[in-house]
Amino acid sequence: MSPIKNQLLNMIDCLSEQEQILIMELVKRIIPDDIATSDDLSAIKTAKYEYKRGEMTSHDDIVWN
């Protein structure tokens, strides 16, 4: 973990729960909603690999009900 992350975590731990809620709201406004998480990136990588290998499911094979 980077030194800045460590410092932030230590500072957040010193705040009350109410102050942590305020910080959370501020961070939510800074970070875009459409940012990909590491899980998202991993799923995309897996899907691309499966697509290249022809491992796809046709829309006709999906039961949509």
Question: For the segment 27-62, what is each residue's pLDDT rounded down to a tens digit?
Answer: 989 988 788 889 999 999 999 999 999 998 888 888
* pLDDT for 11 beyond 90: yes
pLDDT at 59: 87
DSSP letter at 31 equals: S
- CA distances 50 to 40, 56, 61, Å, are 15, 7, 17
What does pTM read for this prediction? Answer: 0.47
